Amino acid sequence: MEKTNFWNDAAKWGAVMALVQIVFTTAGLFWRSSLLSLVSVAVFVVLLFFFTKRRVLLYGRGENGYGYGQCMKYIFWMMCFSGVLIGAWEIVARNVLFASRYETLLGESLKAMASLYSEAQLEMAVSMARTMFFSPIWVVVLSVLGAVVQGCFFGLFVSAFTKRDVVWVKHAEDSAERKDSSDE
């Protein structure tokens, strides 16, 4: 297998993560289910683990290994790329493809807020919500932020299981060599 550079890997596997998230997000628009949410999170964590482990196996064989911080850095950038692609999809989905569905979702949210706020506050909240919900810049910024937060949260655990610290491996090898030499 040919090694590739950091940015190519982060972009390629970030795009795969984005495609999977787009499928689950689109399915969630029409089928609200806790099972769908659970499957979405499980697939996300498995893919995050798989792509990070793949990176560690390719580049963690040297003298330096592939530490926890390097795993988190890789996950962070992979999620940044993923967030940009998810944001681009969301712009098209919210403003063109599924605009009526998103309008319905926004209306449901605003109805729930109606009992909490006065008429003037509700008018201001409606205009702000509509701006943030359909404005391309806000959609992309919030998509990147959401992807990074989600990826880094699960990445804290994934990195702990995928890292390869050579210090521990070297220590174990040194201990085994000392034990072998003392047996003679």
Residue 153 burial class via C-beta count within 10 angstroms: exposed 0-12, middle 13-18, buried 19 and up: exposed
Residue 115 domain-assigned? Answer: yes
| Residue 184 pLDDT level (bands cut at 50, 70, 90) | low
| Residue 140 forms part of a structural domain | yes
pLDDT at 24: 92
pLDDT in tens, 6-16: 888 888 899 99
Domain hosting residue 19, numbered range:
6-183
What pLDDT is recorded for position 158? Answer: 85
Specify the DSSP class assigned to residue 115.
T
Average pLDDT of the chain, as a whole number: 81
Three-class DSSP category at 152: helix
How far apart, in whole angstroms, are the C-alpha atoms of residue 129 and residue 121? 12
In this structure, the dihedral spanned by the alpha carbons of residues 10, 16, 18 and 23, taken in order and rounded to 10 degrees, is -170
User: Region 139-164: what's the mean pLDDT?
Assistant: 87
pLDDT value at 92 more than 50: yes
Asked if the model's pLDDT at residue 109 lies above 80, the reply is no
Report the distance separating Cα 27 and Cα 33, nearest Å: 10
Number of domains in the chain: 1
Residue 43: per-residue pLDDT? 94
Q: What is the mean pLDDT of residues 147-175?
A: 75
Q: What is the pLDDT of residues 17-50, one digit of tens each?
A: 999 999 998 888 888 888 988 999 999 999 999 9
pLDDT of residue 1: 46
The span from the CA of 63 to the CA of 165, in Å, is 9
Cβ contact 50:161 at 8 Å: no
Question: pLDDT > 70: what percent of the chain?
Answer: 84
Phi, psi angles (nearest 5°) of residue 164 = -135, 95
pLDDT at residue 165 is higher than 50: yes
What is the per-residue pLDDT across 43-91, written as a single tens digit (0 to 9) for each?
999 999 998 888 888 777 666 677 778 888 889 999 999 999 999 998 8
Higher pLDDT, 159 or 3: 159
H or E element: which one contains 129? helix 119-134
The H or E element spanning position 145 is: helix 136-162
DSSP structural state of residue 169: H
Structural domain includes residue 1? no
